Structure 1
Amino acid sequence: MKEGAADPEIYEFNPYRNRPKITWPDGKTCAVWVAPNLEYYEIDPPLHPQRKAWAKPHPDVVGYAHRDHSNRVSHWRMAEVMSKYGFAGSVSLSVALCQHHPEVVADGVARGWEFFSHGIYNTRYCYDMDEAQERAIIEDSIKTVEEATGQKIRGWLAPALTHTPRTLDLIAEYGLDYTCDLYHDDQIQRVITKSGNLVSIPYSLEVNDHYGFFVYNMSPREYADTLIRQYERLASEGEASGTVMCIPLHAYLIGQPHRIGPFEEALRYIANDGRAWIARAGDIVDAYKGQIK
């Protein structure tokens, strides 16, 4: 960022109306992708001066065990519902999961899911990291995910949504071509970086199940209704130019027995509507780049 600049110069200002028209395959109006966060939390992580990993003193057995429900039980419940309605996940992966619980990662691979990096652990933060430390995380992510899945990661969601001023430049330098860390738009947009060809794909805090249940205190039925209302608006606006809807999930939340039923109904609604292009993040990025130069 230039000293005294009016904005951070991460992306150009691009008003929603009068943009170049985006089209999705088969005349679909809204590209819908599901982003399961497959995460690993340490029960007793190293302390960070700017942020506590757990609200309670370490080791936080309750916090750890609650989230471990994802990898023991609720991943399978969530994934089976997604597969039932043709939603292939684009996984925001704590890459340490490849070593801790490889069975979960292998299940995603078998389902044809795409993987991108969410850092190593979701209890390690990027605040105050120097460049060498941040490069090490990116390099570890690329190597570990490729060894575990056969895929070279294309995308990035910063661990626990923590960044440094150089994060976007570094992931572009390493050849990644999309970031989920900008929540500023309902269409794919270019990102300004020193090198590479980075775009931002719409991720969401507003319809993220973490925000829905922990911040907005929604019931399962209210959350499912929110997904449908989000989809309906974006599918309608997408008739003019294709929009993108992301459904970010955490299995230990959405995969609980009392929540999975309404969520399944929302996926059924979207899948049966006829306007949704149900795709993976990389497929959506490729379609965008194929028409917007």
Structure 2
Amino acid sequence: MQEGAPDPGLYDYHPNKGRPKIEWPGGKTCAVWVAPNLEYYEIDPPIHPKRNPWPHPAPSVVGYSHRDHSNRVSHWRMAEVMTRHGFPGSVSLSVALCQHHPEVVADAVSRGWEFFSHGIYNTRYSYDMTEEQERAIIEDSIATVEAATGQRIRGWLAPALTHTPRTLDLLAEYEFDYTCDLYHDDQVQEVKVAEGLLASIPYSLEVNDHYGFFVYNMSGREYAETLVKQYERLAEEGANSGTVMCIPLHAYLIGQPHRIGPFEEALEHIAKDGRAWLATAGEIVDAWREQMGRAQQ
């Protein structure tokens, strides 16, 4: 038998059965966090040899203007629904938005939302970056978001989900608390880094609205029903050990008039169920790390 590729060693293997019991505040069984992607897409970005940012020749007037709906209209539609039902946002931020559309960032600040970095632009990719370039993006993200929001970002979602082999080690070196770039679990897990600590908080591709509408071709109603099914199962299993559900959103998708109604119904269902802890990503990681510290003593 041919030997397979080695384990990349990103995290240890912990089968779900037999793990330490996680308990969320108030006896809740599922920690639910919402990750609005507040992004900026360049109309004519530099072309990367490994990936074309638009499926047709740039400048992409259609792609740019479709996504610009987020920053003109649908962010507020989405945010008001979240606020109405008590869901804080943990913002996956294209950091350049602080300069391009500070009004959007200011609105999220006014709602008390948490911010983490999604790179500078979602049309710039990390493939083949030098260490100097990657450090510059991390340092720019820290400084720019702190100047715009007063927050020192604690988390990271790689721009357009692109990485280098050193990304996770650098995040730990810069004292980030969590990454959203691993999709391997329904609970917070430790990431194996060269030095320091870094947690992986469950993000999601399966219930990401981008995948729901662009990959799985769901209707707004089907996507909302999927959110409820995802939550119901995780809340049930979380009675044994607390689970985490992420709802990743893009306002230009979920905030369209024909989709926002079913989405609001899903949020209302989760909020009223009684088993959900509506939290930010940072709050979830802090609660998990506190319990893991006790478990190791």
Using structure 2 for the length normalisation, give the TM-score. 0.97
List alignment gaps of at least 5 residues for structure 2: none
Following the alignment from structure 1 to structure 2, what is the Cα–Cα distance between the partners of residues 16 and 207?
21
- Does the 8 Å CA contact 1:210/1:250 hold for their aligned counterparts? yes
Deviation at 1:206, TM superposition (A): 0.1
- Secondary structure (helix, strand or coil) at the match of 2:122 reads coil
Following the alignment from structure 1 to structure 2, what is the Cα–Cα distance between the partners of residues 270 and 190?
27
- Does the 8 Å CA contact 1:177/1:196 hold for their aligned counterparts? no
Following the alignment from structure 1 to structure 2, what is the Cα–Cα distance between the partners of residues 92 and 19?
29
Equivalent position of 2:109 in the other structure: 109
Equivalent position of 2:187 in the other structure: 187
Following the alignment from structure 1 to structure 2, what is the Cα–Cα distance between the partners of residues 233 and 98?
37
Equivalent position of 2:55 in the other structure: 55
Equivalent position of 2:119 in the other structure: 119
Equivalent position of 1:247 in the other structure: 247
What's the CA shift string for 1:3-61, capped at 9, x where partnerless?
x9730000000001110000000000000000000000000000100000111111000
Following the alignment from structure 2 to structure 1, what is the Cα–Cα distance between the partners of residues 11 and 5?
13
- Does the 8 Å CA contact 1:121/1:159 hold for their aligned counterparts? yes
Q: Which 4+ residue blocks in structure 1 deviate beyond 2 angstroms?
A: none
- Secondary structure (helix, strand or coil) at the match of 2:291 reads coil
Equivalent position of 2:43 in the other structure: 43
Report the AA paired with residue 219 of structure 2.
S
- Secondary structure (helix, strand or coil) at the match of 1:290 reads helix
Following the alignment from structure 1 to structure 2, what is the Cα–Cα distance between the partners of residues 112 and 72?
20
Following the alignment from structure 2 to structure 1, what is the Cα–Cα distance between the partners of residues 234 and 6?
30
What is the aligned length? 290
Following the alignment from structure 2 to structure 1, what is the Cα–Cα distance between the partners of residues 195 and 245?
27
Alignment of 1:99-178 (within 5 A): 99-178=99-178
Following the alignment from structure 1 to structure 2, what is the Cα–Cα distance between the partners of residues 45 and 263?
32
What's the CA shift string for 1:97-120, capped at 9, x where partnerless?
000000000000000000000000
Alignment of 1:1-293 (within 5 A): 6-293=6-293
What's the CA shift string for 1:169-203, capped at 9, x where partnerless?
00110010100000000000000001121000000
- Secondary structure (helix, strand or coil) at the match of 2:277 reads strand
- Secondary structure (helix, strand or coil) at the match of 1:34 reads strand
Following the alignment from structure 1 to structure 2, what is the Cα–Cα distance between the partners of residues 217 and 18?
37
Using structure 1 for the length normalisation, give the TM-score. 0.98
Following the alignment from structure 1 to structure 2, what is the Cα–Cα distance between the partners of residues 195 and 82?
37
- The alignment yields a C-alpha RMSD, in angstroms, of 0.8
Following the alignment from structure 1 to structure 2, what is the Cα–Cα distance between the partners of residues 173 and 147?
21
- Secondary structure (helix, strand or coil) at the match of 1:7 reads coil
- Secondary structure (helix, strand or coil) at the match of 2:74 reads helix
Following the alignment from structure 1 to structure 2, what is the Cα–Cα distance between the partners of residues 216 and 6?
31
Report the AA paired with residue 177 of structure 2.
D
**Percent of aligned pairs sharing the same letter:** 79
Report the AA paired with residue 273 of structure 2.
D
Following the alignment from structure 1 to structure 2, what is the Cα–Cα distance between the partners of residues 69 and 129?
30
Following the alignment from structure 1 to structure 2, what is the Cα–Cα distance between the partners of residues 260 and 41?
23
- Secondary structure (helix, strand or coil) at the match of 2:236 reads helix
What's the CA shift string for 1:233-278, capped at 9, x where partnerless?
0000000000000000000000000000000000000000000000
